[in-house]
Structure 1
Amino acid sequence: MEMCSREEIMDLCRQAIHQNMCYVVPRVLPQQLCLPPPSPKDELHSTLTKTSTRKFSDLPHDILMDIIAMLEIPDALRAASVCSSWCSVHTKLHNLGKYKRPQTPCFLYTSQSIGENIACLYSLAEKRTYKLTLPEPPISRRYLLGSSDGWLVTADERSEMHILNPITGEQIALPSVITINQVTRIFNHKGVLCKYRYSRHTAEGVTDSPMTLPLDKLRYFFHCKAFVFYDKSVKSYIVVLIHNPCEQLSFARLGYDKWTWLPPHLRFQDCTYKDGLLYAVTSLGEIFAFDLNTTVITAKIIMDRTKEYSRERIYIVQAPWGDLLQVWRPPQGDGRGYDEITGRSALVSNTGRTKLYRVDTLAKELVEISDLGDHVLFMGNNQTYCLCAKEYPLLKANHIYFTDDSECLALRTLWGFRLDIGLLNLRDKSVEEIVSPRLWLKCRAPVLLVPNPRKMNSTCHN
């Protein structure tokens, strides 16, 4: 065929992508995409049928690769389903980790009523829900501990942890929970693991008597929040876990067989990672930095405590312009509200009173800031992100997208309480629904996820 211009190829891509609109995305395997039958009256379909399959398959792969690399995940998947040639280009991009476009964050949520191995992905870019088929163990039975860099951290029904990329389906088992200092095994008379002994040991000593818990219950008492960070210095990933008692820190490197405990500090609520250092903030506003690549890991104090008692939930985030930020989110409200599930009064969100601070690391003090300008913040049961809205034109600048990450979240979801999820306008402090009616009624609380179409092995070599 004659050589097409880049503009002509872009036009063909748009036609093909729109023709392959889909609502169900099982991982990233194009051959498994569930596509609706085309309508004979569809103008795009009429245009597309006039274009031969060979015309698509003969398009230059180097230009196709550049174009597909700039698409949002749903459009890239649709492009891959056009023909075998485009699928091979998509697969090559996927394997080499050459996607260029920053992916717009999504909400991921699960429910057994949807399907045990199905997760729903609500796209903030398209305002549309996709369904993903994920590997065993069933995602609907797992406890979602957090998300970072496109990876979920989950705890299964034996309270064992995995990291999972819901876009690629890649999954890696983490070291056993029994390698964490406070957890030991209990066997029955047949030698079968049946329970865990959960010690209340902290860096300051034993705070209470130990608990004996069924395998599936440990995760609700012990696991708090988890993060996946890429360590460029050793070209590998680390997973950081905030866990009880008293919200301590442990970390594990992928490929290692145990967790490493980070005493002696307590009450951690959020973490971020930059230039080889793990930064962790406590409920009293303290910030500690850990160099995880040293033989003896010590904590360097970046910020002393800024308050004497714990009330707000506190987040830490590295802003694109270089500042380290703290975000203070007040607790739930006074119960004057309406719950869509029970039809009764419900807790009112106080997220509208969220405060932002710049961390002055030289003076070791917090400087309150009023807004984010042309940036947007994501906080909740995920790594806290601050993104430039100019790179994500479908997001609202100077807003905070937030999800519920209260300490009793599992029970709140089980009992049907209204979850604290929404969109905060930092200019006037108003709060609105992200989508109405809520998609996650009678579902577990959603997690904010930045889709990552790259395989871990390709990322590690970039």
Structure 2
Amino acid sequence: MKRSRVDLLATAGSSCWSSIPGDLLEQISGHLSTDADLLHIHQACAHWRASTSPPASCRPWIRAVRTGWSRPLAPGDTDYSFWLPRRQHQRQVETRAPPAGVPYCLGASRGWLAMGDRRRVPWDPASGARPLTRLVLWDPASGAEVQLPCLRDATHVFLSGDPLASPHSWMAVASQRVADIAIKPFFWRPGGAAAWSPLGERNTAAFISVAFHGGRAYCVDAYRVVYVYDLGTAARPPALVGARNAGAMVDEIWKCHRFSYRPNGAHLVTGRAGGELLLVAWRRGPGIRWAEPAVSSCCSPLCSFFAVVFKLDWTRDEPELGERVTDLGEHALFLGHGECLALSSKEFPGIKRNHVYCVAPEWNVSSKHDRTLPDWAFVFDLGSGTSQEIPYPRELRDDGTNWRPFSWFCLRTPFMKQQQ
């Protein structure tokens, strides 16, 4: 069936764009999907500005979580918060309250929050803590909810697609804590089994990032091991078809006679133009205050870099690093403990092209080991190799909240004031 078209000029009754009815402009702006488009339509002229609203807060946001030494939760408090990634005067983003009965956040993926009725706590089988009994995907902008089967002791949830945009072709991967740092991975598909099914047959360390690409799930654990699961076969559970240490792969390419480049962390990102899978390896280079001294005679220029980006290929039945990526074009990468993002600066005007925005718990450990959080995040310029710190918000240092920056979160649609 052919979609009907709206003749804007005929609707306005004039050739002047400024005479388009305000209610029609408001309707059009409600269908725009990028922050940049909303800002452009709002800035076109005085009439358009009066008839439309800019985003309340440009995306993406930093998702922070409470720590083990945060003050106790008061009635109505959440165990997560959202913040704009500014270098100065960081601002908290207020969203609507979570659904009744599931106030605790267990992950963020594809613009959805995984909410449960039990807070994620340190693993202790003898604690007698009440198990998780509800697990819900929730969009804090629209309020939409998608029910998931419950998974006891779930810690993180990753989505391969948007449950509303592709209701029959997405899947979820979740981690179930089975020891202090060990997890057992599970997966679930809508229309399939009623309960979660094991993903592979072995336990791993906690997953730091998960990416879905080419019919496979690529998972990086806390020890920087990349596990690859084949999702395109009828095998139950999906077979583990490859596992390699990301640090070892980087070392094989960039040798240095003074010291190993072995990274402190590794993350996977998909979604950039071209659809390739990227592996981002980072280390604490000379630009960071607690870094090792610079090595001027090092044979590899990468030894002074904070982050390097490679294409990750699947060859000879194992993951291998492809060519190094030195220019992301109009895109920027966002790394954290959870889903990592590749976003276009043309669609998200609050970000810088060819930059890597970094936030993760392991970067925010005080050199004095005194539970202070000296930094909030880092912004790394992939072109110049320089980095800037986003300091920990001043107003949070002494209020007892102890928010820890944990991951990035990008809503499915622009965030408007009426959605707060």
Q: Taking structure 2 as the reference length, what is the TM-score of the superposition?
A: 0.60
1:122 matched to 2:83: yes
Change (3 A) 1:233 1:107: closer
Contact 1:440 1:446 in 2 (8 A): no
For residue 267 of structure 2, give the secondary structure of its aligned residue in structure 1: strand
For residue 241 of structure 1, give the secondary structure of its aligned residue in structure 2: strand
Change (3 A) 1:317 1:263: same
Counterpart-to-counterpart distance in 2, 1:162 and 1:373: 35
For 2:13, the equivalent position in structure 1 comes to: 3
1:252 matched to 2:188: yes
Aligned pairs for 1:92-131 within 5 A: 104-109=59-64, 116=77, 120-123=81-84, 129-131=92-94
For 1:228, the equivalent position in structure 2 comes to: 159
C-alpha offsets along residues 100-135 of structure 1, whole Å, 9 cap, x if unaligned? xxx732224467589515965434699854311223
User: Alpha-carbon deviation of 1:428?
Assistant: 3.5
Aligned pairs for 1:40-439 within 5 A: 56=22, 59=23, 61=24, 64-70=26-32, 104-109=59-64, 116=77, 120-123=81-84, 129-136=92-99, 142=104, 144-155=105-116, 156-157=118-119, 158=130, 160=132, 161-178=135-152, 223=155, 225-230=156-161, 235-244=168-177, 245=179, 246-254=182-190, 257-265=194-202, 266-267=204-205, 268-274=207-213, 276-282=215-221, 283-291=223-231, 294=234, 296-299=236-239, 301=241, 304-305=244-245, 312-318=264-270, 319-330=272-283, 353-362=306-315, 364-367=319-322, 369=324, 371-374=326-329, 375-406=331-362, 415-418=371-374, 421-434=377-390, 437=393
| Structure with the larger RCO, 1 or 2 (CA within 8 Å, 6+ apart) | 2
Change (3 A) 1:432 1:151: same
Counterpart-to-counterpart distance in 1, 2:408 and 2:352: 16
User: Alpha-carbon deviation of 1:274?
Assistant: 3.5
Q: How many residues align?
A: 325
User: Alpha-carbon deviation of 1:151?
Assistant: 0.7
Counterpart-to-counterpart distance in 2, 1:419 and 1:286: 27
User: Alpha-carbon deviation of 1:440?
Assistant: 5.7
Contact 2:197 2:237 in 1 (8 A): no
For residue 66 of structure 1, give the secondary structure of its aligned residue in structure 2: helix
Unaligned ranges ≥5, structure 2: 1-10, 42-50, 53-57, 67-72, 120-129, 250-261, 291-302, 415-420
1:449 matched to 2:409: yes
Give the letter aligned to residue 389 of structure 1: S
User: Alpha-carbon deviation of 1:379?
Assistant: 0.9
Contact 1:152 1:163 in 2 (8 A): yes
User: Alpha-carbon deviation of 1:251?
Assistant: 1.5
Cα RMSD after superposing both structures: 4.8
Change (3 A) 1:429 1:115: farther
% identity of equivalent residues = 19
Change (3 A) 1:406 1:149: same
Counterpart-to-counterpart distance in 2, 1:408 and 1:243: 25
Counterpart-to-counterpart distance in 1, 2:81 and 2:394: 13
Q: Say which structure is richer in helix.
A: 1
User: Alpha-carbon deviation of 1:377?
Assistant: 0.4
Change (3 A) 1:359 1:109: closer
Change (3 A) 1:108 1:300: closer
User: Alpha-carbon deviation of 1:328?
Assistant: 1.8
C-alpha offsets along residues 410-430 of structure 1, whole Å, 9 cap, x if unaligned? xx9994433552212223433
C-alpha offsets along residues 434-454 of structure 1, whole Å, 9 cap, x if unaligned? 477457653243531111149
